[in-house]
């Protein structure tokens, strides 16, 4: 199935379900805030310091130190996530983990899941590989499985999927990600256009994790529309945490 057809199928299914629920009198899926703009209610600090995450003027501020994550209180399976972010330092590194177990790895302090990359465009100029500048597509919303989670990339760069158009703005400029995650498939829109995706994720239910990875990053307008569940086996879901 072509990527555009699959995307419209996912979104069409979501709209159809909303319409069917409205006709039947059931609750219609709607976006709700994952960040209330006041405090860290709804989030759990996994392995960072108490002052790594803070709220200032309605913005969720991450200092970037130490490396680690903060997770959502509950797990999610099928959903649409809207999140806005901006790096405050050139070459800043961060991301959001989808369908994660929220358990830090022994070596890198980061959990498993599917990472939705959030890199400042200057990253490629500050991190040359064997003396060469990496392709700019590396930073623009790459999607990839981590911690043993496997995916099939839409636009392969090895096991990762790269965006087909560069749309991320530089540090201190706000960027918008819209993430459609349904039944092991993820489609990512960057600043108003769908440019990347993966399929057949071996883990398709779990926590959302915001990443602290060495540089200050800000988040705002974190909203989620939860869709009906699919047929997910215990092996395809992350274990529930206390």
Instruction: Please write the tens of the pLDDT for every residue from 72-95.
Output: 999 999 999 999 999 999 999 999
Least confident piece of the model among 36-45, 116-125, 181-190, 212-221:
116-125
Tell me which of 89 and 24 has the higher pLDDT. Answer: 89
Query: Cβ distance 20 to 12 under 8 Å?
Result: no
Looking from the CA of 198 toward its CB, the CA atoms found within 13 Å total: 32
Instruction: Answer whether residue 239 is part of any domain.
Output: no
User: Looking at residues 159-166, what average pLDDT do you find?
Assistant: 93
Residue 27: per-residue pLDDT: 78
Instruction: Answer whether residue 150 is part of any domain.
Output: yes
Residue 61: per-residue pLDDT: 98
Is pLDDT at 109 greater than 70 in this prediction?
Answer: yes
Domain count for the chain, please give it. Answer: 1
Both structure tokens of 186 = 């993820």
Instruction: Answer whether residue 242 is part of any domain.
Output: no
Residue 131: per-residue pLDDT: 86
Is pLDDT at 151 greater than 80 in this prediction?
Answer: yes
Looking from the CA of 61 toward its CB, the CA atoms found within 13 Å total: 12
Instruction: Answer whether residue 98 is part of any domain.
Output: yes
At residue 164, the 3 state secondary structure works out as coil
Instruction: Answer whether residue 240 is part of any domain.
Output: no
User: Looking at residues 211-237, what average pLDDT do you find?
Assistant: 97
Instruction: Answer whether residue 216 is part of any domain.
Output: yes
Instruction: Answer whether residue 234 is part of any domain.
Output: no
Instruction: Answer whether residue 6 is part of any domain.
Output: no
Of 59, 84, 94, the C-alpha closest to 176 is 84
Q: What is the CATH number of the domain that holds 57?
A: 2.60.120.560
The percentage of the chain sitting over the pLDDT mark of 90, rounded to a whole number, equals: 78
User: Looking at residues 179-202, what average pLDDT do you find?
Assistant: 98
The percentage of the chain sitting over the pLDDT mark of 70, rounded to a whole number, equals: 89
Q: What domain range includes position 105?
A: 30-228
């Amino acid at each position: 199935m072509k990527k555009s057809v699959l995307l419209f199928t996912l979104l069409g299914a979501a709209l159809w379900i909303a319409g069917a629920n409205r006709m039947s009198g059931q609750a219609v899926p709607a976006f709700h805030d994952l960040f209330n703009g006041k405090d860290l209610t709804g989030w759990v600090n996994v392995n960072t310091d108490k002052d790594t995450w803070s709220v200032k003027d309605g913005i969720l501020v991450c200092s970037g130190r130490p490396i680690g994550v903060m997770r959502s209180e509950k797990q999610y399976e099928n959903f649409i996530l809207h999140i806005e972010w901006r790096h405050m330092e050139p070459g800043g590194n961060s991301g959001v983990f989808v369908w994660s177990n929220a358990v830090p790895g022994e070596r890198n302090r980061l959990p498993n899941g599917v990472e939705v990359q959030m890199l400042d465009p200057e990253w490629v100029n500050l991190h040359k590989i064997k003396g060469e500048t990496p392709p700019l597509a590396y930073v623009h919303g790459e999607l990839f499985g981590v911690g043993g989670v496997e995916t099939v990339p839409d636009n392969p760069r090895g096991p990762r999927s790269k965006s087909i158009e560069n749309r991320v703005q530089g540090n201190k400029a706000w960027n918008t990600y819209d993430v459609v995650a349904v039944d092991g498939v993820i489609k990512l829109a960057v600043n108003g256009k769908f440019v990347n995706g993966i399929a057949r994720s071996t883990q398709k239910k779990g926590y959302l994790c915001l990443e602290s990875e060495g540089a200050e990053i800000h988040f705002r307008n974190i909203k989620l529309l939860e869709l009906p569940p699919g047929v997910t086996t215990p092996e395809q879901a992350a274990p529930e945490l206390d």
